[in-house]
């Protein structure tokens, strides 16, 4: 009798102990591991939300906590000391951030995280990916939980303006815009405009600016429509497929991706319109406010990937190109591209001025690739080709443009 009582007591005590130990780490102990910092609020609502501006009703309260470290301009030093970039990414966004069957993160935004790691630390795998919901992403930047946010985030004046949202925006990596999908059998065509939406019911993911854009747009065109809000994009698409609504709207990349891959569209009945998106959604990196040193690094990682694309430097030929330019320099400048030489870390390189190793961009291009490679590795899979889009090279009529590296 006594014996079993002891065990019962032991069991209860252990339960309490382990409960307590699960919450605590040895705080005086240097080797406490495996704990991540507290996360700040988020409603876990939607994932792809480049047009989501109503982020921060709840984040103002925590904006003041840790921003001190951030504003002292130490992110680059902190990253170098840590040996790892904390990069905020979407929890799931087709082609931008997705986990493949092996649990490895893939995507356009994910590759830019890797590019930063390759440039700053020389290793593209030195990234700690932090999947963030739409609502918690800005708080994560403000409190320094992430060094960089590559999370299909639209650059808007309200988000950029200082105030309770302490963060800065880098150069746009992907120009997106809201579009609609309807059915030809319902009378929609490529030439349809917002005026044709009059009287239709529209599915979209709730709580984002896509909802506001379509309301404003249709009202301005003098029509009325029924809004069918859905929790997220897949739910909105499912409702569209099921016929709950006549039109489905979201960011152009998402709409085109669905139209290209959805089994319901096997007969090509879907049509994406209008050709010019109804809103501007420039997506790019976000980093802590007032840290120019770190901001310059991020900006120039993006610019370097664009310049490399312009000059035809890619992951396969970067080293050869460096050798070739160095040979040209040694030969007296015949056929020399001085900008490419500087970018790849040769004579007159400017990477050291950014606080990086001279071969930072060489590493980045070799390990991850230039803009074109990053784009083509992920975006065409959802049916968006680069040619003719806003994301084409500036020399080909697109908006992808970088300042010169000199």
Residues 113-172 touching other proteins, rule: CB under 8 A, are 125, 128-133, 136
Which residue is associated with the tokens 């950014």?
354
Question: Which CB, 105 or 300, lies closer to other proteins?
Answer: 105
Residue 293: which of 88, 118, 79 has the closest Cα?
79
Whether omega before 274 lies within 30 degrees of 0, making that bond cis, reads yes
CB of 62 to other proteins, least distance (A): 8
**CA gap 383, 381 in Å, rounded:** 5
CB of 383 to other proteins, least distance (A): 10
Q: Which of residues 241-270 bind other proteins (CB under 8 A)?
A: 257-258, 261-264, 266-269
Q: Rule CB under 8 A: is residue 22 a binding residue for other proteins?
A: yes
Question: Which CB, 127 or 166, lies closer to other proteins?
Answer: 127
Q: How many CB atoms lie within 10 A of CB 316?
A: 12
CB of 21 to other proteins, least distance (A): 5
**CA gap 48, 315 in Å, rounded:** 29
Question: Which CB, 100 or 334, lies closer to other proteins?
Answer: 100
Question: Which CB, 15 or 327, lies closer to other proteins?
Answer: 15
Q: What is the DSSP letter of 257?
A: H
Q: Rule CB under 8 A: is residue 59 a binding residue for other proteins?
A: no
CB of 240 to other proteins, least distance (A): 11
Question: Which CB, 102 or 395, lies closer to other proteins?
Answer: 102
Question: Which CB, 2 or 406, lies closer to other proteins?
Answer: 2
Question: Which CB, 155 or 240, lies closer to other proteins?
Answer: 240
Q: Rule CB under 8 A: is residue 353 a binding residue for other proteins?
A: no
**CA gap 278, 85 in Å, rounded:** 35
CB of 152 to other proteins, least distance (A): 12
Q: Rule CB under 8 A: is residue 28 a binding residue for other proteins?
A: yes
**CA gap 129, 144 in Å, rounded:** 14
Binding pattern to other proteins, positions 268-287, x when CB under 8 A?
xx------------------
Q: Rule CB under 8 A: is residue 18 a binding residue for other proteins?
A: yes
DSSP 146-190: -SEE-SS-B--HHHHSSSS--EEE---SEEE-EEEEEEGGGT--T
* Site size with other proteins, rule: CB under 8 A: 83
Q: Rule CB under 8 A: is residue 238 a binding residue for other proteins?
A: yes
Among 9, 219, 242, 327, binds other proteins (CB under 8 A): 9
Task: Determine the distance from the C-alpha atom of residue 23 to the mean position of all C-alpha atoms in its chain, rounded to a whole number.
Answer: 32
Question: Which CB, 15 or 323, lies closer to other proteins?
Answer: 15
Q: How many CB atoms lie within 10 A of CB 100?
A: 9
Provide the CB-side half-sphere exposure for 38 (13 A, CA): 8
**CA gap 299, 64 in Å, rounded:** 26
Q: Which of residues 370-399 bind other proteins (CB under 8 A)?
A: 378, 381-382
CB 276 within 8 A of CB 217: no
Q: Rule CB under 8 A: is residue 216 a binding residue for other proteins?
A: no
CB of 306 to other proteins, least distance (A): 24
CB of 134 to other proteins, least distance (A): 12
CB 386 within 8 A of CB 326: no
Among 68, 101, 161, 353, binds other proteins (CB under 8 A): 101
How does strand 281-283 pair with strand 174-176? antiparallel
- Choose the stretch contacting other proteins; rule: CB under 8 A; options: 40-48, 148-156, 208-216, 359-367: 40-48
Question: Which CB, 43 or 198, lies closer to other proteins?
Answer: 43
Question: Which CB, 329 or 374, lies closer to other proteins?
Answer: 374
CA angle 334, 335, 337 (to 5 degrees): 120
Measured CA to CA in angstroms, residue 179 lies from 134, 182, 194, 204, 351 at distances of 20, 10, 10, 11, 40
Which residue is associated with the tokens 């070739």?
324
CA angle 29, 35, 39 (to 5 degrees): 130
CB of 246 to other proteins, least distance (A): 19
């Amino acid at each position: 009798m006594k014996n079993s009582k002891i065990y019962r007591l032991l069991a209860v005590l252990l339960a309490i102990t382990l409960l307590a130990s699960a919450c605590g780490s040895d705080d005086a102990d240097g080797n406490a591991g495996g704990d991540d910092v507290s996360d700040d609020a988020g409603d876990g609502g939607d994932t792809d939300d480049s047009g989501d501006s109503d982020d921060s009703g709840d984040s103002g309260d925590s904006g003041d906590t840790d921003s001190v470290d951030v504003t002292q301009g130490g992110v680059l030093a902190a990253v170098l000391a840590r040996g790892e970039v904390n990069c905020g990414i979407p929890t799931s966004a087709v082609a931008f951030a997705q986990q493949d069957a092996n649990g490895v993160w893939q995507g356009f935004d994910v590759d830019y995280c890797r590019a930063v790691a390759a440039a700053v630390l020389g290793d593209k795998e030195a990234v700690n990916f932090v999947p963030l919901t739409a609502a918690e992403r800005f708080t994560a930047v403000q409190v320094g939980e992430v060094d960089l946010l590559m999370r299909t985030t639209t650059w808007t004046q309200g988000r950029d303006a200082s105030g309770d949202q302490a963060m800065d925006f880098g150069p746009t990596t992907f120009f997106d815009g809201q579009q609609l999908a309807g059915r030809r059998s319902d009378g929609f065509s490529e030439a349809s405009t917002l005026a044709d939406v009059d009287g239709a019911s529209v599915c979209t993911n709730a709580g984002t600016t896509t909802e506001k854009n379509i309301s404003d747009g249709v009202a301005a065109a003098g029509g009325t429509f029924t809004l069918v809000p859905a929790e997220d994009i897949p739910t909105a698409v499912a409702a569209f497929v099921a016929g709950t609504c006549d039109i489905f709207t979201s960011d152009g990349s998402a709409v085109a991706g669905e139209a290209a891959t959805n089994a319901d569209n096997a007969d090509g009945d879907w049509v994406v319109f209008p050709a010019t998106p109804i809103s501007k959604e420039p997506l790019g990196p976000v980093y802590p406010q007032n840290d120019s040193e770190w901001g310059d690094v991020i900006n120039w990682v993006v610019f370097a990937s664009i310049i490399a694309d312009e000059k035809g430097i890619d992951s396969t030929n970067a080293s050869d190109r460096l050798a070739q330019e160095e040979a040209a320099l040694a030969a007296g400048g015949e056929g020399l591209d001085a900008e490419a030489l500087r970018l790849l870390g040769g004579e007159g390189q400017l990477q050291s001025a950014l606080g990086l190793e001279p071969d930072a961009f060489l590493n980045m291009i070799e390990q991850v690739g230039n803009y074109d490679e990053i784009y083509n590795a992920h975006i065409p899979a959802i049916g968006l080709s680069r040619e003719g889009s806003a994301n084409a090279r500036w020399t080909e009529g697109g908006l992808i443009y970088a300042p010169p590296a000199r």
